[in-house]
Structure 1
């Protein structure tokens, strides 16, 4: 290549000329530097390590980085790409793969690649920018004795040389690896905007660069990495691909938490001994996992802990203290406020330290103002010895106290009988938002507090969180923490508190339809309070027992339980307790088809709450009153009751209550034949629950909307609503509600004569309830299946389904359900001209309806009987 003169067009009177690669100190001080490169300079490949033969899961990132290397990419783009991430995440490997791919596949870099490892986190090998510049200048042919001593002078010379390279058609790529801070990198960056640069660091550096934060590998990529490395080392990895090894391979990927360094160590260990299950068992113990994620290679030991050590040593005292304390939080992430309480720091100081750790990629920010650690870094932080005695224990107590106090403040916005805490939370929505964000942490505190000798944290939160967990339908969590509280109370002999925890446990079990266990828990609570002579809590336990018995459709037991609770509260002068018991009594009476009595009970509950000035209780009682009024077909009064409930909830700012009341209002309006207004109310309810993120009540509102559309004979729209509700229930894993949605959808499909789909849907509903052991649901599903079979002219199958349904309801002592099944059975028998059997079953149906107090249904059966052909002489 011939010599070329390159003029750097900087203004000024001084011009210096450099030829043949000979440079002197005084030259560097000139304003204009003219560089003449040596006659022969080979492409710059000095010092770049070879890329790994196995590389998976990063193709998208490579493509992104490659685009920034293309000539012309500098137009309006930043050509410096900074790849940041935690130790062992694969930053160096990513840029090496990108650099080699660019060299092999393109002609973008005729000057080659210059690589430098700055060892920014290794105090023994760390390079200064001046050291790096010296190495690079020598690498491109500048004699060492002619290279300036001062860093600034080396940087100016370096930029002049790079510009000369570009102008002579020798564009190259700079790879700057393992930079710890901006000071190490800034002097190495070119002035010429056409020269691309790849920088890696464990920190997010303050340089003019496009940032690329590297995350962990997904499960599939992690398993491929392990398998392919083993295949390369052993020549065969078929053992790892066998089906019986997949569970262990998946577990290994999880134990490494997707960290490439850990995955490569695991692969090396498997190459020595390909026993995934044994290795997984070895790594399963969190106490020793980091120590076992190490392997001796010819180049030295490769270990995850050693990589983390270098990052930890880079921290200031304050950063290191917070880093050690963060694992004290038992949940998956922590808020800035909670971290400040944990470390006993002002919020402003805490956020600075958290941001420092985030820039160092020792913590992640999964959401605004929330922080978490990678699993292996969490283990590493947990293993660091404290600098002060009881550092973790004292921090844990501060943190748990913060969670307890704040949860109690939030609960005041959910509990209608407490004074609302506005110091912590201005509104109910703010309180719910905090509870939602801290839900997992709060449950983790409950479950871990006893092992840290802080049982009071479990007890307090178990009692505080019940209303929130019920509202959000986190019944599994509620069961867990209630059992923990019961065990603690049992150990310390606090029978009264144990009884309260049993009430909570029963309520939670009711939410997941474990009704026998729920009834047992509530019954035990009643017995405890009776033995203690605690009448008030006895009333609470009876009220909860009655509610569970109502769900179990044991109305003959539920009604007396609520009636006794009402009497207790009246004797005690507890008017609000009386209103709650009346409200529940009304619901039991309504579902037991004693509608007039139900209306009376709910009306009394409304009156008491109004006298007490208790709007939450009033609105709840109004909603239940409206439901009872609908059953006696007093739709105008039902609409008025639900409308009042909507108004109260709106005045209270209770969006959730407003949504429920609107949904009930829609059903009452549909009963009154005002379908347009009804659908508007249902739609408003759906919108509210969507905004609140409450999927369960959203699907409930969709179900009621579908029912209204059925009544309005808008069957296609009804099918759509029921299908949406079904999809949500399945996503939520709510099998009982899924069964109801299947029945509703099947009935809508039946109306448009899509019998095959309807039969499939009803058959699925039967299967769901059988799997759940819900006999009442099974009876309902069989009854609807039978009706659909009859419409599809499959009368014999319909008869079998209705007989099965009638038998189930008979054994459950559900006379009304039995009457419905027997009535449908009679219709199916008539279709096959089995009139005498139909007459017999309709007679039984009439008696069942009479026993349940359903006079209208008795009349309907009598009309059917009258239309039958007369009995024959031998009949």
Structure 2
């Protein structure tokens, strides 16, 4: 009962007075003559039980604010539970977060006048684990309850505990309860208040269902991790320790190697504090070795491995086996389907196990449902445990199943991308479904190829590399393509597979060409042709020569390219490979176009169309029609170009090939520009960009946007053109295609100049010059310099314009482009005349209506 004041008379007529106040009582109050009970003004809970808040604490302000919002008085009126459960990985800083929050909450006037109760129930430590009834005994004693009045049973203790907390709240002495390290609902629920007013903070490595507001705690980002290192060293050694400030790169390296885990970061800081002269670079090097990292993240009683042990040891057999096997996945995350393949289990049962591991915060759900990832340090720990249980877990068989799953599924997806791989697999409903799976699994697939040889699965890796070739090409993922083909090449060379070596070299050359590393690409294709010749594979040799010709074309070694491609076409003709001959002729026609030998180019492309039509290969025939139309556009035979591209569109629409259709629409738009049908061209380029966006081909979307910008310029819709070229440049920047980005920037300068944004136009052309120079593309650099000169002249910056035109002229002379050389010479003369007139005018610059012809927009 609460405090009372009662008066009366005893049996002898004497006055009896009992006064009881200043406390909350849950046991007998004795009445009698001349008995006075004096109590302190309030019963003080064990405030000293709250651990001290660390002075090194950062990166959690948002989480602290969210917790405080739920603790504030009046939360119950907002229908939000006054109990918050913080869950997260071992060592992620759950206890520190709630201690910091509790310390802040206690300082808020009127929030918790009754104080705070703190109990660590050691839920994950089998030796120190507190049962809920023992925890309640301590909490009740902390609340001032004499031991003889504490009942024995858990249910009775919980009832009394909650009644005490409710009574304190009713007396305006609200208490904050902090329960740390509960492992399950059974341990946590009896310790939580139930009156709707008393607040509680609960921490667990599991996501517990106790009617609390759930807060999942993630690792720190790199910036906050570095701050925590710096704060910890400052607290330990004072402001004189400036290692974090002096070695920012190595501080970031340590932070990344600790993977944002506060426990690991605090151990790292303690190791550095032990030896003030130790550079951060030394610790970073020590942590780089994966198989020793967990050994080195320990100091005295604190160790990352020990923290993980407590979670692992609580797992049942099936959960523990799956947890250990997950470390076999070579990529960053994996799907439920892949996990089922890994274990050989039923997908629905495996999904339940994965969800259990996620609730235990040994596994993290990825941003997309159905995908899962291990924290970096947890992955190392799981791998370490997995090696120790390799036989019982059947680890080698599990890895083989997983790698086989990736190979067979990638092969099925490849049938939707490349008709040459046979009938489209029913594993995926359509091309979009296949692409979506490949996109999701790309990092795993590439990592599987590179990992396979280390485990005697080189053949699986080779098959997977081959299955990925079309996908990586279409997605312009050339860095990944180089990675897988380099691995395949090494496997073939080690096994003495000369034919496989030739194929891998040929693929490597294509990947290098995609990165515009044409010199290396030419070397790879040349070596591939030699290897094919050594095996007697004439068609393989001709295919490598065809690709070599393309690389030589990009190197602007046109005469060499004509020679190589002519040889390739002749070999294909001799072997009767009509399709190969058509491909070689198509590439030869492109070289002849670059040489401006348009009559020869038209003849060769016409032959290519005829040859490929004869094979019945409509898809490649459509490609040949597109090439033919491109040359016809160059020679201004726009009506014929229109017919060729229209025929190509029809071919691809009949085939249901949206990708080929979009390419043809883009080319058709160019022909319509030549016919000055600009509105229709804009429509087609817009449609092409939309299809490429829909099919996920960012690169070709950028090409269509670039051409859209050129058509809009012709209509005088300069602001829209600026937007199109800007978007194109952004796309190419995202895909890493620097060459196309330079082209888009070069074209962007024109409409910027037209709307008077001359400084931005100069900047766009200058950036294009830099891109081409970095790529060592003298021809592209010359184009950008030429247009830069025109813009500078328009801006009245004649001296700079002259310098740019002179550099452009030199570039065109070096690359043998006589047409553009003449154009640059014409503009140079114009710039010199304007410069002289500007000098005679006493420095007064008159804006020029034009600045001479520009180099045409590059498609």
Alignment TM-score > 0.5, same fold = yes
Task: Sort the Cα spacing of 1:344 and 1:424 in 2 relative to 1 into closer, same or farther, 3 A.
Answer: same
Kindly indicate whether residue 43 of structure 2 is the aligned counterpart of residue 41 of structure 1.
yes
Q: Quick one: distance in 2 between partners of 1:569 and 1:529?
A: 14
Partner Cα distance (2:800, 2:306) in 1: 71
Match of 1:379 in 2: 380
Aligned partner of 1:368 in structure 2 is 369
In structure 2, C-alpha distance between the alignment counterparts of 1:791 and 1:98, rounded to whole Å: 63
TM-score by length of 1: 0.87
Task: Check if 1:279 corresponds to 2:280.
Answer: no
Structure 1 residues 793, 188: closer, same or farther in 2, change over 3 A? closer
Q: 1:761 aligns with which of 726, 747, 764?
A: 764
Distance in 2 of aligned mates of 1:832 and 1:61: 64
Q: What's the CA shift for 1:631?
A: 1.9
Preserved CA contact (<8 Å) 1:710 1:718: yes
Shift of 1:484: 2.2
TM-superposed CA distance for 1:705, in Å, is 1.1
Deviation at 1:769, TM superposition (A): 2.0
Shift of 1:113: 1.6
Q: Once the 2 structures are TM-superposed, how far is the Cα of residue 832 of structure 1 from its aligned partner?
A: 7.5
Instruction: Judge which range, 477-486 or 754-763, deviates more.
Output: 754-763
2:251 equivalent to 1:249? yes
SS at match of 2:179: strand
Match of residue 20, structure 1, among 13, 16, 25: 25
Question: Which shifted more, 678-687 or 366-375?
Answer: 678-687
Q: Note if contact 1:223-1:249 (Cα within 8 Å) is conserved in structure 2.
A: yes
Deviation of 1:667 (Å): 2.4
| Deviation, structure 1 residue 762 | 2.6
TM-score for the superposition, normalised by structure 2: 0.88
Counterpart of 1:325 in structure 2 is 325
Any idea what the Cα deviations from partners look like across 1:342-369, whole Å, max 9, x if unmatched? 1221211211111111111011112321
Quote the offset at 1:598 in angstroms.
3.6
1:288 aligned to which of 292, 295, 306: 292
Instruction: Give, in whole Å, the separation in 2 of the partners of 1:153 and 1:683.
Output: 74
C-alpha separation between the residues in 2 aligned to 1:752 and 1:648?
Answer: 41
Assess if the C-alpha contact under 8 Å between 2:413 and 2:425 holds in 1.
no
Aligned 8 A contact 2:46 2:116 in 1: yes
Q: In the alignment, what sits opposite 2:67?
A: 65
Aligned to 2:467: 464
**1:811 is aligned to 2:804:** no
Partner of 1:188: 191
Give the aligned partner of residue 354 of structure 1.
354
Return the offset for 1:201.
0.6
Deviation of the 1:504 alpha carbon: 0.9
Distance 1:429 1:237, change over 3 A: farther
CA distance in 1, matches of 2:422, 2:494: 32
Q: In the alignment, which residue of structure 2 is the partner of 1:315?
A: 315
Give the corresponding residue for 1:846. none
Shift of 1:228: 1.4
Partner of 1:699: 702
The residue number in structure 2 matching 1:507 is 510
Q: How many angstroms apart in 2 are the aligned matches of 1:832 and 1:92?
A: 73
CA displacement, residues 300-322 of structure 1 (integer Å, 9 cap, x when unaligned): x1111111110000111111111
In the alignment, is the contact (CA less than 8 A) between 1:722 and 1:741 conserved in 2? yes
Supply the distance in 2 between the matched residues of 1:537 and 1:303 (Cα, whole angstroms).
57
Rounded Cα–Cα distance in structure 1 between residues aligned with 2:209 and 2:168: 27
Q: Does 1:551 align with 2:554?
A: yes
SS in structure 2 at match of 1:424: coil
Q: Is the contact made by 1:795 and 1:829 (CA closer than 8 Å) also made in structure 2?
A: yes
Give the superposition deviation at 1:586. 3.0
State the 1:471 CA deviation.
Answer: 1.3
Q: State the 1:479 CA deviation.
A: 1.8
Name 2:210's counterpart in structure 1.
207
User: Given that residues 21 and 141 in structure 1 are in contact (C-alpha distance below 8 angstroms), is that contact kept between their aligned partners in structure 2?
Assistant: no
**Deviation for aligned residue 1:644:** 4.4
| Cα gap change, 1:4 to 1:208, in 2 (>3 Å) | farther
- Distance of 1:190 and 1:829 partners within structure 2: 87
Q: Return closer, same or farther for 1:139/1:797 CA change in 2, 3 Å cut-off.
A: closer
Pairwise CA distance, 1:647: 4.8
1:469-498 deviations in Å (ceiling 9; x for gaps): 111112122222222222222222222221
- How far off is 1:527 after superposition? 2.1
Measured at CA, do residues 341 and 168 of structure 1 come closer, stay the same or move farther in structure 2, by a change above 3 Å?
A: same
Map residues 751-830 of structure 1 onto 2, 5 A cutoff: 751-752=754-755, 754-792=757-795, 798-828=801-831
SS where residue 202 of structure 2 aligns?
strand
Aligned to 2:147: 144
* 2:610 is aligned with 1:622: no
Q: 1:717 to 1:40 in 2, by over 3 A?
A: closer
Distance 1:38 1:760, change over 3 A: closer
Q: Secondary structure at the match of 1:113?
A: strand
Q: CA deviation at 1:653?
A: 4.8
The C-alpha deviation readout for 1:91-137, integer Å capped at 9, x for no partner, is 01111111111111231112222222111111111122222222222
8 Å CA contact 1:45, 1:114 repeated in 2 = yes
Match of residue 414, structure 2, among 405, 408, 411: 411
Matched residue of 1:3: which SS?
Answer: strand
Alignment check: 8 A CA contact 1:54 1:228 kept: yes
Residue number among 222, 230, 237 corresponding to 1:219 in the alignment:
222
Q: Does 1:173 align with 2:202?
A: no
Alpha-carbon distance between aligned partners in 2 of 1:144 and 1:655, rounded to the nearest angstrom: 80
**What's 1:264 paired with?**
266
Partner of 2:334: 334
Provide, for residues 658-702 of structure 1, a one-character-per-residue CA deviation record: whole Å limited to 9, x for no partner: 433333233232222222222222222333344445443332222
Separation in 2 of the partners of 1:242 and 1:548? 48
Distance 2:390 2:536 in 1: 53
C-alpha distance in 2 between matches for 1:23 and 1:359: 46
**Secondary structure of the corresponding residue to residue 110 of structure 1:** coil
2:121–2:131 Cα contact (<8 Å) kept: yes
For 2:835 and 2:46, locate their aligned partners in 1 and report how far apart those are by CA, in whole Å: 93
| 1:724 aligned residue (722, 727, 742) | 727
1:151-170 pair list within 5 angstroms: 151-170=154-173
Partner Cα separation in structure 2 for residue 379 and residue 418 of structure 1: 39
Partners of 1:82 and 1:832 lie apart in 2 by 75
Is 1:414–1:428's contact at 8 Å kept on the other side of the alignment? yes
Change (3 A) 1:416 1:594: farther
Q: Is the 8 A contact 2:519 2:551 kept in 1?
A: no
Q: Which runs of 5+ in 2 are unaligned?
A: 6-22, 30-38, 838-854
Alpha-carbon deviation of 1:795?
A: 5.4
Partners of 1:416 and 1:617 within 8 A in 2: no
Contact 2:328 2:399 in 1 (8 A): yes
Structure 2 partner of 1:522: 525
CA distance in 2 between counterparts of 1:817 and 1:466 reads: 37
Give yes or no for contact 2:325–2:393 (8 Å, CA) kept in 1: no
Q: Distance in 2 between matches of 1:39 and 1:825?
A: 96
8 Å contact kept, 2:589–2:601:
yes
Extract unaligned runs of 5+ from structure 1: 6-17, 25-36, 835-856, 858-875
Structure 2 CA distance, aligned partners of 1:645 and 1:429? 22
Q: Counterpart of 1:571? A: 574
- Report the equivalent of 2:682: 679
Question: Aligned partners of 1:531 and 1:2: how far apart in 2?
Answer: 101
Q: Match for residue 119 of structure 1?
A: 122
Counterparts of 1:521 and 1:815 in 2: how far apart (Å)? Answer: 31
Q: State the shift of 1:4 in Å.
A: 6.5
Q: In structure 2, do the counterparts of structure 1 residues 2 and 483 end up closer, same or farther at CA, with 3 Å as the change threshold?
A: closer
3-state SS of 2:193 partner: coil
Superposed CA deviations along residues 635-673 of structure 1, whole A, max 9, x for unmatched, are 344344434444554555544434333332332322222
2:449 aligned with 1:442: no
The DSSP-based 3-state class of the residue aligned with 2:348 is helix
Change (3 A) 1:798 1:166: closer
Question: The residue matched to 1:179 in structure 2 has which SS?
Answer: coil
Given that 2:229 and 2:244 are in contact with CA atoms closer than 8 Å, whether structure 1 keeps it comes out as: no
Distance in 2, matches of 1:445 and 1:251, equals 26
